[in-house]
Amino acid sequence: MLEWGVSGRPLRGTTESGDGHLVLPVPEGAFLAVVDGLGHGAAAAFAKEAALDTLRAGAEEPLPALIERCHLALRETRGVVASLARLDARAGTVEWFGVGNVTGVLLRPTPSGEWKSLAHLSPYGGILGHQLPRGSAAPRRQAVEAGDLLLFATDGLRHGFHLGMRERAARQPPLEVAHTLLSHHARDTDDAHVLVARILSLPEG
């Protein structure tokens, strides 16, 4: 259903990254997450691991409930920002929920060889472990097709990192796409992490 790849690195001069990811099969589809522990170094890496452990344990839960679970589990940590997505292959949709500044983008290749941006994840403000989004926060849902790319990146990549992607990205393995994005767009002032997932197929009908 999915092929995916990830590329990341810690802040230059450090050995531990506060950025991480999770990709898991779930009933009817797949669960994806990218998290960014605040700051960098050991404390950020500890918050990241606590978040990933919590997300792994609750990956089949509704996304708002999982966000709440993560928030409660991280109260004694530095906290994280995160974007979560669940692909429902049978429905042909992706549902996503973000808190903080982990960027999410859904792209589709066009017959002319360009990439059309179908949707941007607009994360809610907050920090898991410290402040949940205010007001009524709900996941967004978007229809998807085979061949679409889901990109998630921490703020260690420059804004607009996905712009100008070449036609050949439609044929490259996601791991190669992720490495290219990281090498071209990573900042020198933070940890950086990018996840690229291509939807291979969806049930017909």
Q: What percent of the chain has pLDDT over 70?
A: 93
Cα–Cα dist 28/42, whole Å? 36
Mean pLDDT score of the chain: 90
Banded pLDDT at 110 (limits 50, 70, 90): confident
With H, G, I as helix, E, B as strand and everything else as coil, classify residue 95: strand
pLDDT of residue 22: 98
Q: How much is the pTM?
A: 0.93
Region 129-153 average pLDDT: 89
Q: Is the pLDDT of residue 23 over 90?
A: yes
Helices (H), 22-140: 42-57, 63-73
Task: Give the residue carrying structure tokens 């792209």.
Answer: 107
131 phi, psi to nearest 5 deg: -150, 115
Query: What confidence score (pLDDT) does residue 113 get?
Result: 66
- The dihedral of CA 84, 55, 179, 155: what is its sign? positive
Domain definitions of the chain by residue range: 9-199
Q: At 135, is the pLDDT very low, low, confident or very high (cuts 50, 70, 90)? A: low
Fold of 9-199: Phosphatase 2c; domain 1 (3.60.40)
Query: What pLDDT does residue 21 have?
Result: 98
Which tokens in the block code for residue 197?
A: 């997932």
Per residue in 73-90, pLDDT (tens digit) is: 999 999 999 999 999 999
CB 165 within 8 A of CB 204: no
| Residues 163, 22, 96, 188, CA torsion sign | negative
Q: Categorize the per-residue pLDDT at 109 as very low, low, confident or very high, splitting at 50, 70 and 90.
A: confident
Lowest mean pLDDT across 6-10, 44-48, 170-174: 170-174
CA distance 33 to 129: 16
In the chain, the percentage of residues whose pLDDT exceeds 90 is 74
The DSSP result for 109-134, as a single string, is E-TTS-EEEEEEE-PBS-BBTTBPPP
Residues 17, 39: Cα–Cα separation, whole Å: 10
CA distance linking residue 128 with residue 70, whole number of Å: 7
Q: Would the pLDDT of 138 be above 90? A: no
Can you tell me whether residue 173 is helix, strand or coil?
coil
pLDDT at 51: 98
User: What is the Cα gyration radius of the chain?
Assistant: 16
Q: What is the band of 116 on the pLDDT scale with cuts at 50, 70, 90? A: confident
Residues 158 and 108: their CA atoms lie apart, in Å, by 21
